[in-house]
Each structure stands twice: as C-alpha cells, then as structure tokens.
Chains A and B, each alone.
Chain A
Amino acid sequence: MASGMQEKQFTPCLLSFFIYNPTFGPREGEEEKKILFYHPNDVEKNEKIRNVGLCEAIVQFTRTFCPTKPAKSLHTQKNRQFFFEPEENFWIVMVVRNPMIEKLNKDGKPPTVEYQEEEILDTVYGAVVRQCYSMYKLFNGTFTRAMEAGGVEMLIQKLEKFFYRYLQTLHLQSCDLLDVFGGISFFPLDKMTYLKIQSFVNRVEESLSLIKYTAFLYNDQLIWSGLEQDDMRILYKYLTTSLFPRHSEPELAGRDSPLRPEVAGNLLHYGRFLTGPTNLKDPEAKFRFPKIFVSTQDGYEELHLIVYKAMSAAACFMISASVELTREFCEKLDGLVGPQLTLLASDICEQFTINRRISGPEKEPQFKFIYFNHMNLAEKSTIHMRKTASVCLTSVHPDLMKILGDINCDFARVDEDEEIIVKAMTDYWVVGKKSDQRELYVILNQKNANLIEVNEAVKKLCATQFNNIFFLD
C-alpha cells in the first residue's frame, strides 16, 4: 500500500529450530546437555542455552495458568516461536521471523525496519512443527525408541541426520491453510476402474504374500490405502512433496499412452522402482529400501517401503522390515507388477479423459475454493496449482489466504456447524462453511454482489462440486 520504491519486503523465514529435553541437564552448568539438536549449528553455545532457557521459562510460566494445556507459541515484535512436546519432556521449538519491510532512508541513515506482526498464522506454523515430528517419526520411529536403541548419542545422531536435510526442504513463505489440514487429495475415479485397481492390489498381495500393506496413487493423488489414515497422511506428504518430485522426468501427469517409444523397449512394461534398485539388470544393484514406521494396535512396526511406478500410476508396497529383500523378490515383483500396472495406468488415463469429456472441459472456475473433510482427510483445492516440495503456487492474494486461515481458526474453536461470509477491503468475498467435519472455503470475485448473491453463488458451487455429499445450507 505504501508508495515505496524505497521499500524492501522480506517474507517470513526460519530463524532457528531446536529440540531439547529439560530433564537431561538439570544441574547448573549442565544446561548444554539438554540440547539435542540446534539449527543453525554455528550459534554460540551460551546463546543456545539462553534461548532454550527462555522456552523453558515460557512453558513453566504458562503452566501456572493452565497446567494441562502447554504453551504453543510466543509472539514477539520480531518473531514467533512455536513449541511442541511430541513426547514427554521432549520439546521441539521453531522460531520464525515475522515478515518485514525495510524502508531505506535517504541521507544515509540506517534503514528503518517495520515488522508485520499479524501476518503469521499460529495454526499454520504450529502444524508445520507437528509435521516435522511426524516426518521424523515416519522414518525413525519415536525419540524414545532411539534412546532405547542407543541412548542420547544415537538420538542426537538420528536428529542431526534427519533434520539437517529436512529443514532445507521447509518453505515457510509458502505455508498456508493446506498445511493445517495436512489432507490427502484423492483421485476421482469411476467405480469400475476403481474395482479393477482393487483386484490388482488383491492379486499382487496374494501372489507376493510378503507384502503387508499396499497403497495406490495416480497423478500424485491417492486412490487406495491399506495403511491406516494417519500413517497414510504423512506417507502421502512424503511421496507427493519429496519422492515424486525428485523422480518426475519425461512422463509427467496424464501422458499415459503406452504407445510412446520406451527405453526398455518393452511397450507393455513401464514399471520401475522409485525406491531401492534403479536398474535391476545392474549386477551391482543394491536391494535396500527405506524403512518406515507405522502404528499398530500395540505400538508400531517397521517396514520396507517399496515404491514402484509405471507411468503416472504408483504403487507402494510395504513389507515387514524383519525380512531380507532379495534380487529374486524384486525381479519377481517387477515381472508381475510391471505389466499389470502399465495396463492399469493407461486404463485409468483413458477413463479419466472420458469422464473429463463427460463433465465438460476444465474451464477456469469463477470461484476458487478449498475443501477439506476431517473424516477421511480428503482435500481439494482450486487455489493451489500442484503443490510440490519447493513451491506452492496459489492463485489468490496472500491476504485472502490469511483470511481463510482466520476463518479456519474461528471454526476450530467449537465443534459445531458454522458459516462465515466476509467482505474484504479489496471487495473480495470470502465464504467459510463448516458442516459436520467438513470445511469449505470459497473466494468470490464479485465485487458488488450482496450477501444473497454470494450465497447463491456458493450454493451453485456446492451443487456442481459437492452434490454427492450432505452439506447443510
């Protein structure tokens, strides 16, 4: 809004990220022992200790008023700190600098900095911290497990190893409501094709009885998960924001006609491993797969994660980590799954295009919306263009995105159906609907519409996009 050619805008950024356990260095002078991980590492020791100290103090202080509910965030002029205690006495803290505007002064005075304190949404970054932990847990199990396995040293090692890489993949400036939901985008599919996939999965699991769970995705969208919801949620996050983007080469979404020349030569077999051996022929090939931890009734189990892809169809096979995976197995899997998956992929693609033709061509919808269902974590957004690890492009002004966030917070307060319709200063209309565990957010660019017209527009949207669910008006 300010006319500043002399202004410089800075987006929020990660100042520091650390994990500590107050019980590890109770006595004077031992404080350093509490710190299990600290980023950036080059911070001077006492500084680290001081910052951890502040967090402890905040947490302690908050307890005097609500012993049961721990502190979640600290707001200051320059930054926000987010606290999360995933396991007893283990605290994860993320410090994010508020976005700021640097006004360069003429006459050589040092630039004046104006912090924008209301730009960061607690819910969004709180979710980001929780996600960090879930992701660690997916690949390493709980902190406690590491402790049991090899004491603090082991834990520190694992944390270093994991977060050193993971933190670089955080893109705080592009976090938004979708991170709060941590939803799963499901691939729309007709019943018949879906059943075909079902029987594919069943047959594979039957003939390769080692396989314990299977998940099936197409175009980075989920179609079937044999894992429980919460495990799938984080695995999905990993696949779609980390693994798939790394492997997206020539065959990109949609381009699924098996008639295109293939390196392997075999037109009916496009399958390949995204995890494990890159080339089965290679005599040197290693048959090691990433291990993941998923929950069971009694604790968790450790599994090999095999991700196998043919064109846009990807199947994840999970096998108990206790068994050794051999070349023979992988070849068998490749031989069995490759052709079937290839066939399915083109089937799905075909079906999809047919359905699309029926439903009419994808015209830019006049309203942008985000939909989320807490019951099955289903997520749908016409605001985000293909959210990848690196960037999340949204097609609307960040302020509007934040208004969505504000409305979402309001919904989160109480567990009742609610609807909110606001008109922003920019004359955009923003509608939030919450109906039995479902949330829908719509942004309308109908500047001189009134409440009624806006309501009609949303009704129309629901009729076209959500006519198959019970959505209270």
Chain B
Amino acid sequence: MSDEFYLELSENPVQFENASSVNNVFFDEANKQVFAVRSGGATGVVVKGPDDKSSVAFRMDDKGEVKCIKFSIGNKILAVQRTAKSVDFINFIPDCPHTEFTQECKTKNANVLGFCWTNWNEIVFVTDQGIEFYQVYPDKRSLKLLKSQSINVNWYQYCPETAVILLSTTVQGNVLQPFVFKNGTMSKMSKFEIELPVVPKPAKLNLSERDIAMATIYGQLYVMYLKHHSRTANSPSAEVVLYHLPREGACKKSHVLKLNTTGKFALNIVDNLVVVHHQSSRTSLIFDIKLKEPEGAVNTHQPVLPARSIHPYRIPLAGPAVVPTQPPVSCQLYSSSWSVFQPEIIISASEGKDTSSWYLQVKLPPTVNLLQDKGKLMDFLLRRRDCKMVILSVCSQMLEGGGENGNLPVVATVFDKLNQVYKEYLEAEQSNPAAMESGPSRGSAAQKRPIITQAVIDQSDMYTHVLSSFTEKKGVSHKFIIAVLMEYIRSLNQFQITVQHYLYELVIKTLVQHNLFYMLHQYLQYHVLSDSKPLACLLLSLESTYPPAHQLSLDMLKRLSTANDEIVEVLLSKQQVLEALRFIRSVGNHDNVSARKFLDAAQQTGDQMLFYTVFRSFQQRNQRMRGSPAFNPGEHCEEHVQHFVQLFGDQSLLKPSTV
C-alpha cells in the first residue's frame, strides 16, 4: 500500500517561527522566500530561501505594520509596504546609501493593493485603480514612472516565471486583464472573462482570488480557475478550468479537469502535472493535460491516477529545543493551516510547531502499478522528469511475463511510444546538433536543453537494461524472445531509425542458440537484418554450423560494395584462388594486385594445375604491363618462379620473345 503514494513532500523543509502578534510571516513566490518580521522589523527580519544558504537576516526601523515585503530579483533592493499609499525601499547593494526611500503611488486617492518586482530594479504597484510601472534608481534613491494604466482592480495575481500580472476587474471580478512586463516595457494582453456558474443578482464581486492561479504547464502560461459545483447550474462536482494565455492573441478556455467531487481544493503544478488537493478526503488528484489527444477547443480530463494522499510525513524537530530521544512528529497533512503557493509550494503553520514550507514532488514508481494501460503509462512517464529508469524497469517487468495472451500487442505499443520520442529526438539532433552534445542517454541533462522536453530511451538503453538480460532469461520461450526482438526491430524500422549492430547480433545469437537457422536465413533474405561488415563477419563465423551462412555473408559483402578486399580474403581463405582472381578482374583492378599473395595461396593448395594457371596469368600480366613476363624483384616471387621451374621445367617459363 505504502508504495501507492505518488506524491510526497520534499526532505528538510524550510522552517521558521509561527506567525504571531509580534511576528509577521510573508511568502514571496517570486524568490520563494519566507520573511519573518519580528515587531515590525525592529527586532529583526529573517529571510529564508529555498535552501538554507540563501537566508538573510537584518534589522530595520519599525515604521508601522508591514503589509508586504519583497526582495527584488537577486536580493538587490528590498521593498516594504506599510501604508496604503506608498512603498518604502532599502538598498541591499554594497556601497549604496542604505537609508530608506519612499515612493507614493501616483494615482490620486488610490490604495496600493500590492506590488511585484519584475526585474532587479523594476517594480509594479498594483492599486485598486490601476497599475504603475516604475524603474528604481537605488543610487539616486528615487523611482521613475515608466508606464501606468488606470483600471479598477479587485485583486491581482502575479506569475514570476512569465512576469505576467493578472488583474481582476469589473464588479463581479470575473473579467481578467493580464499585463506582461519585459525589460522596461509593459504591455497589455487581451483580457478575457471567466464564465461563472451562477450570476448573482444584484451583481457583486463573485470571483475570489483563491479560485484563480497562474502557472506554466509544458511551457505555456495557463490561468487555472477552480470552479466550485453549484446546485443551480447542473455541475454536480467541482472542476478546474484552464485558460490558455498565449503571448499574442486571445486567451482561450482550453482544458477542463474533472474533480468528480466537491469541497475545498488547492492547486499545485508539479513536473507539468496539475495537482489538485482535496481537503476533506485528504487526497490529491493529478492531471496531465497532454495525456490525451486534443478533441477540440476544450478538452475534458479525468485524473490520471486514482486519488491518493500525499506520502505521510514526519517533521524532524529542529532548533535548540531538540531532545534526541524524542521521535519526529508526523505532521498533519491537508490541515486547514496549509497554504499552497504556485507552482509547487506548500506551507503549513500548524500551531505549537514551527511553520514549514515544502516543495511538492511526484514519485514515479508507484504510478507504474496504478496505471494499468501500458501505453498510457508510457505517455505519462515519458513526460516526467527522471523517468528513464522507471520506464526501463516497466519494460523489463512487461517482458518478465513471457508470452501469456495478448502480451505482444502491448509490447508493440510500448516500443512504438518509446521510439516515437526517440525519433523526434534524433530529428531534433539532426536540425540542431549543438543542443544535444550531452546525448540522450543523460536524459535529465538533455532535458535542460531547449528542445528536449522529454526523456529518450534509445537502443543502447533498451539493449543494456532490458533486452540483453531478457534474452538470457530461463523459462521464457524462445518463440516469445524472438517475437519481442522482431517487434522492437519492427518498431525501429517503422520510425526509420537505423538499427544498431548489437541488436542484430542479439537476434542472431538467439536464433543460433535454438538452431533456428532457416528463420535466420529468411530474415536475411528479406534484409530484415541490414547489411554491415561486422554482420557479414558474424555470418562467416557461423559457416561451420550452418554452411549457407557463407553465401549469405558474401552476398552481404557484395551489397556493401566497399568490401572487395574482404571478399578476396574470404575466397582465398577457402582456397578459391581462381574465383578470387576472377572477382578482382570483374571489379577491374587485377593489374595492380600483389602477385605474391595469390601465388602463395595457389602454392598452398598443392594443386599443380592451379599454380601453373595463376603463375602463367601473372606472367601474362607482366608482359602486358611491362613488356616482359618476368617478375619485378620488388614482388618477391623468386621462390614461386623456382617452384614453377621445378614443376614444369624452365622451358615452360614464358620468354619475352614467345609472346
């Protein structure tokens, strides 16, 4: 059972003191930093980043309650909002004046709802009447308004990855206006409307900020709307609606995730999966919007896997108070004190203990048993991080079973899925080799590269981790083994991927082991095992057990058309000296071969007639080329001349005159 938890919280969470009357806690999604501000900062501010190193601590004068506090990117400048009108700034750049400076919002009697850094020195104020885009000059301790836009705002959300701010406008708040910021410029994106289940009369703010989240999935920005069920509208259960927010063009409702239940939900994005936590059932669901072929404008998805709880978690007690003997306390999951931030952060402030923040992670191995449809499983796994070993183990498992009914078709689909991706990778490699030098086998590495979005299982992976061991297996019928190998080769061919020699070797080895030479012969006959010198040599080595292999191998060498030397060697090794010479003649370079080589071969056969023939033909050649039948000293044929004379007397040596 325990191996069914496919979600887990990261090891050693960031821990900090709980919020209290004297201690305010803030979380900045942009830098993923937690701020603990004790008594307005006078008694100190502690900033903890995702890893302990990046934690910062400082003091600042208490100038009233802190509403919001954030570092600019790279912790250069700290911005603190204490009033509804203005934001204060403190330089953190070495040798820059440290004294605070303040910026009032430009719009008359507007209230600053909040602010967000879009760069190390660019900041956006969001007020209830619009947004103001400033550049900060830390040295001058002043800001310059770059652009502003007035518009009624109910609330806003910011997506740091894409630097997009989403404003909820209109009375119901369901018309969303996105802005995108890019080094110094602010551009308005097309606004769009979230269709609400029920339109309240009279109109009032109806779309709560808690029900909206932004995140990038598969490189695309989405606005996720958690649509609660409503008795009136016939939506029996809640669902998550995804609006695709393209760089250009209108935003479209593109996906609907069916939650099949009701209650309180929270969203995370992990490894391009949408994770929906359901509090009452204390379980989570995951959705993969790519898992099924698009059916039209809007695609409806069911959870990939059955709902499961996050893997139980025990908090290691931290801080000086630790008593060694005390066991780590298991922390309560899905507690009401949880707050969830995008993309994958969960912060739990359970009373009595320190607050901790985790990254949510997906564990692949458990998914393997939960997802029966192997094809679907492959699609799912292939899009996940560090999936390679999992996939390979799935393949091995799948073959374990041997040939029980209907296994082959599954094997086939799995191979096809893998090779599809493999092929795409190879094509990408073609078009842009530079991006690849790390190679597919280091999938995770390749993943960081621009065009590789997926892991790749190539032939060598398949061979080393799956096939080679599988063919060794006892108790698996050779019929099945061969069938599997042929399926794999079939699949590779189907995607026009050149099959590597070691696979052919494996096939041949298996066939030979079971004396299935006739099968082998037929495969070669239809060029299923494509030609190569190594393969030809392998065949030659089989000749003793299977004579036709000789012919097969010669044919192959012939087809390679680059293997004439090899052919000659093969023929000579079989004492077919004449054939060798005839062959050389047919490929048209008999005038410049080493006479010695062939005379040796001929002499070794002990066939006098043959030796005579070969010797004479070389004399004729010499005559043709040099006008004399004699051999050049360089050719080292003295012994052969001797041998010839010894056999046939020197009167039978060609004399220059006689020809």
Please, which residue of chain B has its CB at the minimum distance from the CB of A417?
B579
Q: How far is the CA of A472 from the CA of B579 in the complex (A)?
A: 7
Q: Which of B487, B493, B557 contacts A192 (CB 8 A)?
A: B493
Residue pair A203, B409 in contact (C-beta under 8 Å) = yes
Residue pair B551, A375 in contact (C-beta under 8 Å) = yes
For residues 489 through 539 of chain B, which have their beta carbon under 8 Å from a beta carbon of chain A?
A: 489-490, 493-494, 518-519, 521-522, 525-528, 530
Residue pair B406, A207 in contact (C-beta under 8 Å) = yes
Given contacts A205-B479, A206-B408, A225-B518, contact A196 B490 (CB under 8 A): yes
Q: How far is the CA of A189 from the CA of B558 in the complex (A)?
A: 20
Residue pair B528, A202 in contact (C-beta under 8 Å) = no
Residue pair B483, A469 in contact (C-beta under 8 Å) = no
Whether B291 sits at the interface, judged by CB under 8 Å, is: no
Residue pair A199, B490 in contact (C-beta under 8 Å) = yes
Q: How far is the CA of A373 from the CA of B550 in the complex (A)?
A: 13
Q: Which of B405, B483, B548, B550 contacts A199 (CB 8 A)?
A: B483
Given contacts A376-B521, A378-B525, A437-B551, contact A202 B408 (CB under 8 A): yes
Residue pair B579, A375 in contact (C-beta under 8 Å) = no
Residue pair A199, B551 in contact (C-beta under 8 Å) = no
Residue pair A202, B486 in contact (C-beta under 8 Å) = yes
A206 contacts which chain B residues (CB < 8 A)? Answer: 403, 405-408, 479-480, 483
B526 contacts which chain A residues (CB < 8 A)? Answer: 189, 191, 194
Residue pair A191, B551 in contact (C-beta under 8 Å) = no
Residue pair B558, A195 in contact (C-beta under 8 Å) = no
Given contacts A202-B483, A470-B567, contact A225 B522 (CB under 8 A): yes
Pairs of residues from A and B, 8 with the lowest C-beta to C-beta distance, nearest first: A202-B483, A473-B586, A195-B490, A470-B554, A470-B558, A375-B548, A194-B526, A469-B555
With A199-B412, A373-B551, A473-B585 known, 4 other A-B pairs at CB within 8 A are: A195-B489, A205-B483, A468-B559, A470-B557
For residues 432 through 473 of chain A, which have their beta carbon under 8 Å from a beta carbon of chain B?
A: 436-438, 468-470, 472-473
- What 0/1 readout, one digit per residue, does chain B (387-424) give for beta carbons within 8 Å of chain A? 00000000000000001011111001000000000000
Whether B120 sits at the interface, judged by CB under 8 Å, is: no
Q: How far is the CA of A225 from the CA of B526 in the complex (A)?
A: 13
Whether A289 sits at the interface, judged by CB under 8 Å, is: no
Residue pair B518, A228 in contact (C-beta under 8 Å) = yes
Whether B59 sits at the interface, judged by CB under 8 Å, is: no
Whether A352 sits at the interface, judged by CB under 8 Å, is: no
Whether B92 sits at the interface, judged by CB under 8 Å, is: no
Please, which residue of chain B has its CB at the minimum distance from the CB of A207?
B405
Q: How large is the interface on B (under 10, 10 to 19, 20 to 34, 35 or more residues)?
A: 35 or more
Whether B181 sits at the interface, judged by CB under 8 Å, is: no
A192 contacts which chain B residues (CB < 8 A)? Answer: 490, 493-494
Residue pair A472, B551 in contact (C-beta under 8 Å) = no
Q: How far is the CA of A196 from the CA of B490 in the complex (A)?
A: 7
Q: List 14 A-B contacts (CB under 8 A).
A: A191-B526, A194-B528, A195-B489, A199-B412, A199-B487, A199-B490, A202-B483, A206-B406, A207-B406, A376-B522, A378-B525, A437-B548, A438-B551, A470-B557
Whether A115 sits at the interface, judged by CB under 8 Å, is: no
Please, which residue of chain B has its CB at the minimum distance from the CB of A437?
B551
Closest CB in chain B relative to A470 CB, distance in Å: 4
SS of A interface (majority): mixed
Q: How far is the CA of A468 from the CA of B483 in the complex (A)?
A: 27
Please, which residue of chain A has its CB at the minimum distance from the CB of B554?
A470
Q: How far is the CA of A362 from the CA of B275 in the complex (A)?
A: 63
Q: How far is the CA of A191 from the CA of B518 in the complex (A)?
A: 18
Q: Which of B486, B554, B559 contacts A198 (CB 8 A)?
A: B486
Whether B583 sits at the interface, judged by CB under 8 Å, is: yes
Whether A24 sits at the interface, judged by CB under 8 Å, is: no
Whether B144 sits at the interface, judged by CB under 8 Å, is: no
Whether A229 sits at the interface, judged by CB under 8 Å, is: yes
Q: How far is the CA of A61 from the CA of B39 in the complex (A)?
A: 128
Q: How far is the CA of A472 from the CA of B585 in the complex (A)?
A: 10
Residue pair B525, A376 in contact (C-beta under 8 Å) = yes
B655 contacts which chain A residues (CB < 8 A)? Answer: none
Q: How far is the CA of A226 from the CA of B554 in the complex (A)?
A: 25
- What 0/1 readout, one digit per residue, does chain A (359-388) give for beta carbons within 8 Å of chain B? 000000000000001011010000000000
A373 contacts which chain B residues (CB < 8 A)? Answer: 551
B408 contacts which chain A residues (CB < 8 A)? Answer: 199, 202-203, 206
B583 contacts which chain A residues (CB < 8 A)? Answer: 472-473
Q: How far is the CA of A192 from the CA of B586 in the complex (A)?
A: 33
- What 0/1 readout, one digit per residue, does chain A (12-26) give for beta carbons within 8 Å of chain B? 000000000000000
A196 contacts which chain B residues (CB < 8 A)? Answer: 490
Closest CB in chain A relative to B535 CB, distance in Å: 15
Residue pair A470, B555 in contact (C-beta under 8 Å) = yes
Q: Which of A209, A229, A470 contacts B551 (CB 8 A)?
A: A470
Q: How far is the CA of A438 from the CA of B558 in the complex (A)?
A: 15
Whether B582 sits at the interface, judged by CB under 8 Å, is: yes
A186 contacts which chain B residues (CB < 8 A)? Answer: 525
Residue pair B490, A436 in contact (C-beta under 8 Å) = no
For residues 548 through 596 of chain B, which have their beta carbon under 8 Å from a beta carbon of chain A?
A: 548, 550-552, 554-555, 557-559, 567, 579, 582-583, 585-586
Q: How far is the CA of A226 from the CA of B557 in the complex (A)?
A: 27
Please, which residue of chain A has its CB at the minimum distance from the CB of B578?
A417
Q: How far is the CA of A400 from the CA of B229 in the complex (A)?
A: 90
Closest CB in chain B relative to A5 CB, distance in Å: 52
A229 contacts which chain B residues (CB < 8 A)? Answer: 518
A198 contacts which chain B residues (CB < 8 A)? Answer: 486, 490, 528
Please, which residue of chain B has its CB at the minimum distance from the CB of A187?
B526
Given contacts A375-B521, A468-B555, A469-B558, contact A195 B486 (CB under 8 A): yes
A470 contacts which chain B residues (CB < 8 A)? Answer: 551, 554-555, 557-558, 567
B490 contacts which chain A residues (CB < 8 A)? Answer: 192, 195-196, 198-199
Q: How far is the CA of A469 from the CA of B561 in the complex (A)?
A: 11
Please, which residue of chain A has its CB at the minimum distance from the CB of B519?
A226
Q: How far is the CA of A216 from the CA of B528 in the complex (A)?
A: 16
Closest CB in chain A relative to B52 CB, distance in Å: 56
B559 contacts which chain A residues (CB < 8 A)? Answer: 468
Whether A244 sits at the interface, judged by CB under 8 Å, is: no
Q: How far is the CA of A206 from the CA of B481 in the complex (A)?
A: 12
A194 contacts which chain B residues (CB < 8 A)? Answer: 526, 528
For residues 16 through 73 of chain A, which have their beta carbon under 8 Å from a beta carbon of chain B?
A: none
Q: How far is the CA of A376 from the CA of B479 in the complex (A)?
A: 22
Closest CB in chain A relative to B357 CB, distance in Å: 52
For residues 268 through 326 of chain A, which have their beta carbon under 8 Å from a beta carbon of chain B?
A: none
For residues 449 through 486 of chain B, which have their beta carbon under 8 Å from a beta carbon of chain A?
A: 479-480, 482-483, 486
Residue pair B528, A376 in contact (C-beta under 8 Å) = no
Please, which residue of chain A has its CB at the minimum distance from the CB of B402?
A206
Closest CB in chain A relative to B400 CB, distance in Å: 15
Please, which residue of chain A has its CB at the minimum distance from the CB of B548?
A375
Whether A162 sits at the interface, judged by CB under 8 Å, is: no
Closest CB in chain A relative to B85 CB, distance in Å: 73
Whether A181 sits at the interface, judged by CB under 8 Å, is: no
For residues 171 through 220 of chain A, which have their beta carbon under 8 Å from a beta carbon of chain B?
A: 186, 189, 191-192, 194-196, 198-199, 202-203, 205-207, 209
Q: How far is the CA of A417 from the CA of B580 in the complex (A)?
A: 12
Please, which residue of chain B has its CB at the minimum distance from the CB of A223?
B526
Whether A139 sits at the interface, judged by CB under 8 Å, is: no
Output the residue of B406, B493, B583, B585 with the most chain A CB within 10 A: B493
B482 contacts which chain A residues (CB < 8 A)? Answer: 202
Q: How far is the CA of A217 from the CA of B251 in the complex (A)?
A: 57
A133 contacts which chain B residues (CB < 8 A)? Answer: none
Whether A428 sits at the interface, judged by CB under 8 Å, is: no
Residue pair B582, A473 in contact (C-beta under 8 Å) = yes
